[in-house]
Structure 1
Amino acid sequence: MTLSDPLMLQEAREAPRVVRRQSRENAGAVHALAAAIRERRPPYAVTVARGSSDHACTVLKYALETQLALPVASLGPSVHTLYGAQLDLRGALVIAVSQSGASPDVVENVRMAREGGATTVALVNVEDSDLAREAEFVLPLRCGEERAVAATKSYLASLTALLPVVAELTGDATLKQALEKLPEALERTLSLEDQARDLAERYRFADNLLVLARGLHFGVAQEAALKLKETCGIHAEAYSAAEFSHGPKRLLAEGVPLLGFTSADAAAAATARAYADLSSGGADLRTIGPAVDSTLTTPQTGHALTDPVPSALAFYLFAAHLALHRGLDPDAPPLLSKVTKTR
């Protein structure tokens, strides 16, 4: 690592330290939130977020639904802020995710939800933000300042902040152990940077890219598609590997390449079959993830909920180097700024 490296790379490499600090410093907040959820027994949850934070919510949706059998829906912030609807969220668990905690529409929705009797939780990096003040419970991301326009460490921290609560509610000792060892897995992921750079080289002239995944990795695929647009100027879209054959597969006839995320969980076999079918049909497909036959194989962490974190980190290394291969600065994407305040 050198100080001349893009901030995107420098901040992504902080992931092991961030996750270790989050685990150490959030114990009290985790216990309080778990106790409240256990006592109040919310019948469902909704998430409020935009951009990378919303993609983290996709991963959290799968986590809450598979581990707690808690249905999760994504709330459209403009339903309240633009259309004026006062949603009935009594008893719901409302989870807002934001690096800055400054987006007015997210803040206003949390205020509405709390006033209406919801249990509100903010996963936020800026602890003195408006969002943190409005939520009943706060799980700080503990990233420190994030200067790169393209969020990396804050997205990764958003994936992990709620998992200790899930572990406490379920009594899942395997998840607790995986969380304890996750910083080590992320350190091992950083050692794959040369492989990520080499894989990125083959996409340097791509104009379009389709990103596939299933289950817990789907939110990582969504994030990957955003980052490819943001940092590399590539038109990328994310699809479920299960849905891809229902129309989008047509694009393969135009020679559009694929990037697939693999898994080592309950979605692994179905994902592998889908990728095998695509490859046998001549698709240009490379993969990232914990499956042992991945093009870029990331460390398995010992639990399905934590496996997406190294996958996402490996992708960030890939994306930053792809931008550099294309002669672009991933820290200075045209037309974009660090904080977007949507109303």
Structure 2
Amino acid sequence: MTSPVSDPLMLQEARQTPLVIERQRRENVEAVSQLVSALRERRPPYAVTVARGSSDHACTVLKYALETQLALPVASLGPSVHTLYGARLDLRGALVIAVSQSGASPDVVENVRMAREGGAVTVALVNVEESDLSQAAEFTLPLHCGEEKAVAATKSYLASLTAFLPVIAELGGGEALRQALADLPEVLTRTLDLENAASDLAERYRFAENLLVLARGLHFGVAQEAALKLKETCGIHAEAYSAAEFSHGPKRLLAEGLPLLGFSPTDAARAASEQAYQDLSASGADLRTIGPAPGSSLTTPESGHPLTDPVASALAFYLFAGHLALHKGLNPDAPPLLSKVTKTR
């Protein structure tokens, strides 16, 4: 039997993702239909997300999805504005989306309760269906991950990226998105075939202490998640930047020899990302890339739609991060000072 260190739970759970996404799509049909009907009837003028950690990074991807596909402006709510400062925000008519694996964080729950009492359409994307968050929200889209034991979230983050996409497909994403969602489990299965290549790419970073992660658009929330996971599982001080913003000051860090990891899309951000990465490489930056764009250091399968491509990129990154931890002699399932559920107020 393989020891947890040689085959950590983090990697085992990441490999479950194709089955998780298929189960989510199959079992959420009624919940999606109910939410779509409510949103067509009540038509929110804007959306607000409430989350922390990996779930908040999923909300960044969701923000780009809602804004690019439905022209719905999206803001991120600071949970402490209500729970610490006592403000009751006027969210009448808004779409409020809370994302949480456990559904147990009091500050997220209290903000959803406040929003619902104030007349918002509240939706919980949550893995624990009987959680306080699910009870507080008007609608729930279950993640259907099953138990996630690893401290580092993988399958729950990926399921958070996909849970709202069927709603977007029905409200304006069209047939291409519906087909991409149907094909996504197979695409993710092919992504898992990259595990050896991901391990090889990770090997070159085994002595890295710092790493800068770049992306544009729909992949930016994946870059945020990547930076968190590098801190969490590998003890690397990593920070995420928009490739557009990197030259406005942070580029100075290249003079210190910091390596770069970029996410390479094939959507509307492709040309701008490629140009930024070419410029950085020309200036001597140590840059490797992950994503569906041809020529990426770790080229992921194209999924058929811009909204589903980041799911494969994130899964490939998790394979990279898990093996990087192993190359460093670390157990990604036992990060110092961390626990699975963090309850903030």
The TM-score, its normalising length taken from structure 2, stands at 0.99
Q: Quick one: which of 200, 203, 218 aligns to 1:216? A: 218
Are 1:45 and 2:56 matched, yes or no?
no
1:81 to 60, 83, 86: 83
Tell me which of 125, 128, 149 is aligned to 2:127: 125
Per-residue deviation, 1:280: 0.5
Q: Segments of 4+ in structure 1 off by > 2 A? A: 1-4
Return the match for 1:282 from 281, 284, 291: 284
Distance 1:190 1:2, change over 3 A: farther
Task: Tell me the secondary structure at the aligned position of residue 288 of structure 1.
Answer: strand
CA distance in 1, matches of 2:8, 2:143: 22
| Deviation of the 1:3 alpha carbon | 6.3
The reply on whether 1:14 has 2:10 as its aligned counterpart is: no
Aligned to 1:204: 206
- Structure 2 Cα separation of the partners of residues 276 and 31 of structure 1: 44
Q: Distance in 2 between matches of 1:302 and 1:236?
A: 30
Q: Measure, in 1, the Cα distance between the counterparts of 2:195 and 2:18.
A: 15
Q: What is the rounded CA distance, in whole Å, between the counterparts of 1:69 and 1:200 in structure 2?
A: 38
Where does residue 157 of structure 2 map in the other structure? 155
- Residue 293 of structure 1 deviates from its aligned partner by 1.1
Letter in 2 for 1:274: A
**Aligned partner letter, 2:270:** A
| Residue-by-residue CA offset, 1:35-72 (whole Å, 9 max, x unaligned) | 11111010000000000000000000000000000000
- Decide whether aligned partners of structure 1 residues 298 and 24 sit closer, same or farther in structure 2, where only a CA change above 3 A counts: same
Please tell me whether residue 29 in structure 1 is matched to residue 38 in structure 2.
Answer: no
Post-superposition Cα deviations, 1:233-275, rounded to whole Å, max 9, x if no partner, equal 0000000000000000000000000000000100000000000
- Counterpart position of 2:185: 183
Q: Deviations over 1:89-127 (max 9, x none)?
A: 000000000000000000000000000000000000000
Does residue 300 (structure 1) correspond to residue 302 (structure 2)? The answer is yes
Percent sequence identity over aligned pairs = 82
Letter in 2 for 1:120: T
Question: Which residue in 2 is equivalent to 1:261?
Answer: 263
Partners in 1 of 2:173 and 2:220 — Cα distance? 26
Question: Take 1:47 and 1:288, find their aligned partners in 2: how far apart are those partners?
Answer: 27
How far does residue 321 in structure 1 lie from its aligned partner after superposition?
Answer: 0.3
Letter in 2 for 1:100: S
Residue type of the alignment partner of 2:143:
L
Structure 2 residue identity aligned to 1:308:
P
Residue 314 to residue 42, structure 1, CA distance change in 2 (3 Å): same
Instruction: Please name the residue that 1:244 is paired with.
Output: 246
**Is it true that 1:174 corresponds to 2:176 in the alignment?**
yes
Q: Give unpaired runs (5+ residues) of structure 1.
A: none
Paired residue secondary structure (2:246): coil
Q: Which amino acid aligns with 1:24?
A: R
What CA distance in whole angstroms lies between the structure 2 residues aligned with 1:10 and 1:43?
A: 41
Measured in 2, the distance between the counterparts of 1:185 and 1:2 equals: 27
For residues 178 and 236 of structure 1, the distance between their equivalents in structure 2, rounded to whole angstroms, comes to 31
Deviation at 1:2, TM superposition (A): 4.9
Partners of 1:162 and 1:319 lie apart in 2 by 26
Corresponding residue to 1:112 among 111, 114, 135: 114
CA RMSD of aligned residues (A): 0.8
* Residue aligned with 1:114, SS: helix
Mean alpha-carbon deviation: is it higher for 48-57 or for 169-178?
169-178
The correspondence for 1:58, drawn from 57, 60, 69, is 60
Q: 1:186 to 1:70 in 2, by over 3 A?
A: same
CA distance in 1, matches of 2:195, 2:173: 35
- Supply the AA of the counterpart residue of 1:49: A
Q: What is the one-letter code of the residue matched to 1:176?
A: R
2:99 corresponds to: 97
Distance of 1:32 and 1:22 partners within structure 2: 16
- TM-score norm. by structure 1 comes to 0.99
Task: Look up the equivalent residue of 1:206 and give its one-letter code.
Answer: A
Cα deviation for residue 170 of structure 1 reads 1.1
